[in-house]
Structure 1
Amino acid sequence: MVIPPILARRDAAGFWLTVLLTGIGTGLGASALTELLELVQHTLWSGNGIDLLQAACRAAAWKHLVILLGAGLLTGAGQLLVVRLSAANSIDITAAIWFHAGRLPTLRTLGSAMLSILVVGMGASLGREGAPKQTGAVIANVMSDRVRLSDEQRRLLVACGSGAGMAAAYGVPLGGALFALEVLRGERALRFVLPALLTSLIATGVSWAFLPNAPTYLIPPYTGTLGSMVWALLAGPIIGLASVGYVRAVAWVDHHRPSGPRRLAASAITLTLLGAISIVFPQLLGNGRDIAQLAFTGQVAPLLLLSLLLLKPAATLLCLGSGTPGGLFTPSLAIGALLGGLLGVPFAHAWPGTAPGLFAVLGATALLAATTQGPLSATVLMMELTGQARAFIVPMLLIVALATLIARTIEPRSIYDARLSDAEVLKRQRQRDPV
């Protein structure tokens, strides 16, 4: 069975019913996971009514060590428990879509999602979007089994469910749909676009019943200038090269994760080390949303930009390499904001007139586009996350295009291909870009 592009087909009812149920289930799941993350943060960090960064700045040094040690022990024990609960092998969402017809081990994937939310809420330097994405993918897979959809339909719906999880978690319906198509599925045909749009739209609409309908990042009304376009021409290739190094580092640490009982020691040591460093640099805790917000508004001093640009990627890679589950979307966005902000410092002295925060916004979008190899989805996601971009869309598109072109020319792998072997990456590339 192919993807039914219209309703007037005999096999269309089951497919579109699955789209509806996947959207509803993903919206509810993303809302529950977001509420759980906030509950963990507020309970452990005493941050009721304030963000994680403010709570961590006020917390005593011993709390940093104790909470992160607890997160490390929970990670190790949770990973061992998840393995025991399900005999099925762990399958990454990207690998499931491309090489397993979208099939995922239900219990193991949901267990990993729950563990991810808990440890990110405790301060692990990874993204919170991983859990809603996994939840949406699992719901789509289970619904596909119930309705007995074809492998091709299941593959698409798992991508749609994963994108809908991101859409519901951040309130970005169009960006989530494009992410599902451009980054996960690799195609934007009309028969794929409609299911992706509907799944993300439904999931986001459901989540708005429980979560605030507001931009994730609040930025001033920036305006694109001639200086920002010149900076985009200069910074685009630099960010593209930085993206290549970051993607390769993600792939390397992912392939060298500890296994078996070593997971407990590795995660405990790594996250305790993160807790110790966070006493001085609390900005390293969590997914990076707080420090990105400060960078987007030009509130980070140059020396701190440089320090965090070195430490934030290291913290994220250490957490990932220790086996800690979590996403890479928001940490990558934060790293791009730091890099863009830092590259903007000397340029602002040589060519005044561009707001410092705009460099961070453009850098974040460019790094996100280059590391995911999704230029359209990254651009739309940033527009939805900030609630604006029309005034500076030209330098944004310019830097996104340059960074993605450089990155994709050198490295075919994205951060979401990290678990794939070289042979699988080559196979996927041939499927996506046939000669």
Structure 2
Amino acid sequence: MPFWIAVVLTGVAAGVGAALLTALLMKVQDLSWGASDPAALTEAARRAAPGRHVLLLLAAGLLTGAGGWLLARFVPGGETDITEAIWFRAGRLPTIKTLGSAALSTVIVAMGAALGREGAPKHAGAAFGNLASGLQKLSDEQRRLLVAIGAGAGMAAVYSVPLGGALFALEVVRGQLALRLLLPALTATTIATKVAMFVIPDAPIYTVPVYHVGLADFAFAALAAPIIGLWSVAFVRLIAWADRSRPSGWRRILAPFLVFAAVGLVSIPLPQVLGNGQDVAQELFRQPLPLFALLVLVPVRPLCTVASVASGAPGGLFTPSLSAGALMGAALGVLWLHIDPQGDLSLYAIICAGAMLAATTQGPISSLVMMMELTGHARFFTLPMLVAIIIATAIARTIEPRSIYEARLSDQQVAERFRVRGARPTPARPRRAI
């Protein structure tokens, strides 16, 4: 009974946290750019004066540096990384520091930082799971599970994906997809999603057309998937490098200022680099971008995310991974049109977005389900996306044992994680310990 009380408490708290953080994001984005809808950031940035881009990102950089320094200097507790906490600290997270980092992440993403907005509610849900575990005096194993469930509940609430959030919690965060764990995970994610409905609409995030899938689209999925797999490995390794490069001391204040200033300048001709990438993906799922902008954004948009992580800024990586896959899929689709002139670039973008998400998170099942929930479609793109997900994830996992959420772990920690799970990791490129 104490465990189930903790599950319910975690679901309620994760839902409230996601709703409050979303309300904060919408308010700050409205004050910053004149548009509260996260999907309207790019259009609002297009209308904004160039000076506004630079000033807002400079302010976000200053806030990141000062906020990070204050949290490190005056708030007790260790690291706030969820994966590290689950595997090496029995799920224990510093509650105040984690919630403070979540609030800071929300504000800077609303101001234009190229990071995911789901990172904040995910961390808040995990912190509430840890807190509920302590209140109910649960065992370390139960605490690990509840922290993962809390992270999934935060994800579920902010994107209205209760089934995908439950699978994400178990497959990606906990690393143990078992039927006996699914019921508590679904309980928490369902509660969180319903609680958050007073702020977050229970509706698909992305609006997509009805895709008409033919044999040529399966061929595209099979041929594009290896490239997406390699692209995801590069992205994960860049994020790992960026995390190891996070500044300390006085550089903690200077680095975000410089990086965000650069992002602000880049965003003047390319407003699509701002925010978490939701609006970029939405545009690609419905119509193609101009070819020049597409080719430039394929490397530049992910690099802005990598630079933001390297500056020490807190934020999520879910939607940035999805948008990076959508951009690469659309670019590969332009080449594929020479073979199949009747092809649909928006279909190619969504297939590769799902494949990139699965390969970077190494969660093929949760990624497919979340793509269905995020779009409200369960059949129109499922089969070719599944082909791409299988191939891309297999290639990525063969080359790089880390997911994007394990990028900060050292080689020794990764080896220990696989030992505990009873698996043998694929050797990766040597790295120094974080």
TM-score scaled by length of structure 1: 0.95
Specify the alignment match of 2:189 in structure 1. Answer: 200
Partner SS, residue 208 of structure 1: helix
Give distance in 1, aligned partners of 2:189 and 2:337. 39
Instruction: Give the letter for the 2:41 counterpart.
Output: L
CA contact 2:288–2:330 (8 Å) conserved in 1: no
Matched, 1:305 2:288: no
Equivalent-residue separation in structure 2 for 1:224 and 1:428 (angstroms): 40
User: Counterpart of 2:349?
Assistant: 360
Aligned to 2:155: 166
Asked whether 1:275 is paired with 2:261, we answer no
The aligned counterpart of 1:186 is 175
Which one of 296, 303, 318 corresponds to residue 314 of structure 1? Answer: 303
Could you list the per-position Cα deviations for residues 338-362 of structure 1 after superposition, in whole angstroms to 9, with x for gaps in the alignment?
0001001111221133321000000
1:349 paired residue number: 338
List gaps (5 residues or longer) in structure 1.
Answer: 1-12
Partner of residue 432, structure 2: none
Return the alpha-carbon distance in structure 2 between the equivalents of residues 280 and 295 of structure 1: 18
Which of residues 9, 34, 37 is equivalent to 1:46?
Answer: 34
Counterpart of 1:57 (choices 35, 39, 46) is 46
Task: Identify the residue that residue 21 of structure 1 maps to in structure 2.
Answer: 9
User: 1:38 is aligned with what amino acid?
Assistant: M
Candidates 116, 120, 131, aligned match of 1:127: 116
Superposed CA offset, 1:177-212 (max 9, x none): 000000011112222111111110110011113221
Matches of 1:19 and 1:54, distance apart in 2: 40
Secondary structure at the aligned position of 2:107 is classed as: helix
Q: Counterpart in 2 of 1:254?
A: 243
The question of 1:221 aligning with 2:197 is answered no
Deviation at 1:71, TM superposition (A): 0.2
Q: Is the 8 A contact 1:227 1:353 kept in 2?
A: no
Counterpart in 2 of 1:4?
A: none
Letter in 2 for 1:373: Q
Identify which range, 151-160 or 425-434, moves more after superposition: 425-434
Aligned to 1:397: 386
Matched residue of 2:417: which SS? Answer: helix
CA distance in 2, matches of 1:85, 1:223: 56
- Of 327-336 and 422-431, the range deviating more from structure 2: 422-431
Q: Residue 291 of structure 1: CA displacement?
A: 0.7
Q: Alignment RMSD, CA only? A: 1.1
Matches within 5 A, 1:279-298: 279-298=268-287
Separation of aligned partners in 2, 1:130 and 1:359: 27
Q: Deviations over 1:355-400 (max 9, x none)?
A: 2100000010001100000000110110000111412211111000
Rounded to whole Å, the distance in 1 between the matches of 2:179 and 2:390 is: 23
CA contact (8 A) 1:337 1:363 kept: yes
- For 1:195 and 1:223, how far apart are their aligned partners in 2? 37
Identity of paired residues, percent? 54
Displacement after TM superposition at 1:233 (Å): 1.0
- Residue of structure 2 in register with 1:7 after alignment: none
**What's the CA shift for 1:15?**
0.6
Contact 2:80/2:97 (<8 A) preserved? no
Partner SS state of residue 130, structure 2:
helix
CA contact (8 A) 1:120 1:326 kept: yes
Task: Write the distance in 1 (CA, Å) between the matches of 2:90 and 2:395.
Answer: 31
Q: Secondary structure at the match of 1:349?
A: coil
Letter in 1 for 2:254: A
Pick from 308, 315, 325 the counterpart of residue 314 of structure 2: 325
Write the letter of the residue equivalent to 2:77.
Answer: A
For residue 84 of structure 1, report the CA deviation from its aligned partner: 2.1
Matched, 1:432 2:421: yes
Does residue 143 of structure 2 align to residue 151 of structure 1?
Answer: no
Structure 1 position 267, deviation (Å)? 0.3
- Indicate the SS of the match to 1:390: coil
Give 3-state SS (helix, strand or coil) of 2:337's partner.
helix
Answer yes or no: is 1:384 the counterpart of 2:384. no
TM-score (norm 2): 0.96
Kept in 2, the 8 Å contact 1:85–1:108? The answer is no
Rounded to whole Å, the distance in 2 between the matches of 1:365 and 1:392 is: 10
Q: Quote the offset at 1:100 in angstroms.
A: 0.8
Counting matched residue pairs gives 423
1:78-93 equivalences in 2 (<5 Å):
78-93=67-82
In structure 2, distance between residues paired with 1:431 and 1:194: 23
Distance 1:210 1:273 in 2: 33
Instruction: Give the match for residue 211 of structure 1.
Output: 200
Larger mean CA deviation between 424-433 and 114-123 belongs to: 424-433
| Residues 433 and 409 of structure 1: CA distance in aligned 2, closer, same or farther (over 3 Å) | farther
Q: 2:89 matched to which residue of 1?
A: 100
| Counterpart contact for 1:229–1:398, Cα < 8 Å | yes
Q: Deviations over 1:56-112 (max 9, x none)?
A: 101001111111000000000000111123232213100111111110011111111
Indicate whether 1:33 and 2:15 are aligned: no
